[in-house]
């Protein structure tokens, strides 16, 4: 979205006028965003401020303070990764696996959790789980706690598995991971809303985009219970590489795609023995 120019005074802002300005600034869903800004603003002055921020390229979710994900309102703050619709595939895959394997008392971990959206989505679909999440960024951890603690989830700060309580080792039934998978050189081609406003650590996956996937796969078997499942978001282009990494780590692998949400994930199941 490109930066826009001056906007009318608050008194003359209307839904049609806001949508026109957003459309002119390159916003694809201008009408939907205009309706949301109108609904969320407490009055004309705040609405004008919201529109100015949006025309300046600030992500809509940062402006209103929440993102719509998997049918839930997820609190987000500036800098924290904004949950994408495609990541709903992780939630659905986890819920389906837990329904088949059993959910009562199951340990579910949302690793590289950001706002905690994946964990919240799973908890909303599946009752009786023991929910944990972890992220290296303290701002993300604080945000995830606001989203997950009302559901009984626990959020830990640290680098991947180092953040998790040791007593979870070998007990995780579902490890849901939305780790960065964008190659470093491709960051510059991302939409400015992401590359200018989200932290680099939640986007940059290293030279080939798969550095964090390797690190997660290397530790997964130590933390999964027998027959437990790692479900990792990736891209269509990166899927083969992600699958190869998980297979080399000793997991039985399958790749999952959803045209509905335009998502791709690789699921790796730990051996039963």
Question: pTM, whole model, 2 decimals?
Answer: 0.91
Residue 151: its pLDDT value, please?
A: 94
CB 42 within 8 A of CB 64: no
Residue 46: its pLDDT value, please?
A: 92
CB 222 within 8 A of CB 169: yes
Residue 74: its pLDDT value, please?
A: 98
Q: How far is CA 127 from CA 10, 77, 119, 267, in A?
A: 46, 27, 12, 22
pLDDT (tens digit, 9 = 90+) per residue, 76-91?
A: 999 999 999 999 999 9
CB 182 within 8 A of CB 234: no
Residue 10: its pLDDT value, please?
A: 58
Residue 53: its pLDDT value, please?
A: 94
What Rg do the C-alpha atoms of the chain give, in angstroms? 20
pLDDT (tens digit, 9 = 90+) per residue, 218-229?
A: 999 999 999 999
pLDDT band at 146 (very low <50, low <70, confident <90, very high): very high
pLDDT (tens digit, 9 = 90+) per residue, 95-138?
A: 999 999 988 999 999 999 999 999 999 999 999 999 999 999 99
pLDDT (tens digit, 9 = 90+) per residue, 150-161?
A: 999 999 999 999
Residue 270: its pLDDT value, please?
A: 98
């Amino acid at each position: 979205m490109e930066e826009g120019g001056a906007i009318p005074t608050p008194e003359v802002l209307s839904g049609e006028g806001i949508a026109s300005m957003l459309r002119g600034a390159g916003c694809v869903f201008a009408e939907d965003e205009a309706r949301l800004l109108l609904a969320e603003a407490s009055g004309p002055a705040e609405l004008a401020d919201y529109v100015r921020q949006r025309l300046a390229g600030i992500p809509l979710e940062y402006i209103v303070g929440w993102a719509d994900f998997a049918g839930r309102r997820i609190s987000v703050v500036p800098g924290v990764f904004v949950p994408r619709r495609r990541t709903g595939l992780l939630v659905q895959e986890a819920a389906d696996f837990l329904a088949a394997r059993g959910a009562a008392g199951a340990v579910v971990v949302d690793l590289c959790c950001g706002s905690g959206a994946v964990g919240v989505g799973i908890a909303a679909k599946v009752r009786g789980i023991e929910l944990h999440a972890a992220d290296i960024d303290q701002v993300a951890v604080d945000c995830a706690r606001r989203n997950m603690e009302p559901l009984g989830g626990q959020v830990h700060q640290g680098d991947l598995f180092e953040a998790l309580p040791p007593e979870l080792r070998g007990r995780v039934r579902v490890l849901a991971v939305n780790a960065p998978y964008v190659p470093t050189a491709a960051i510059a081609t991302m939409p400015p809303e992401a590359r200018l406003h989200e932290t680099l650590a939640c986007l940059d996956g290293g030279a080939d985009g798969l550095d964090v996937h390797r690190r997660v796969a290397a530790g997964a078997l130590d933390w999964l219970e027998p027959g437990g499942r790692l479900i990792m978001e990736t891209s269509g282009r990166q899927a083969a590489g992600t699958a190869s990494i998980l297979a080399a780590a000793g997991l039985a692998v399958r790749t999952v795609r959803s045209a509905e949400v335009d998502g791709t994930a690789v699921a790796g199941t730990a051996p039963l023995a």
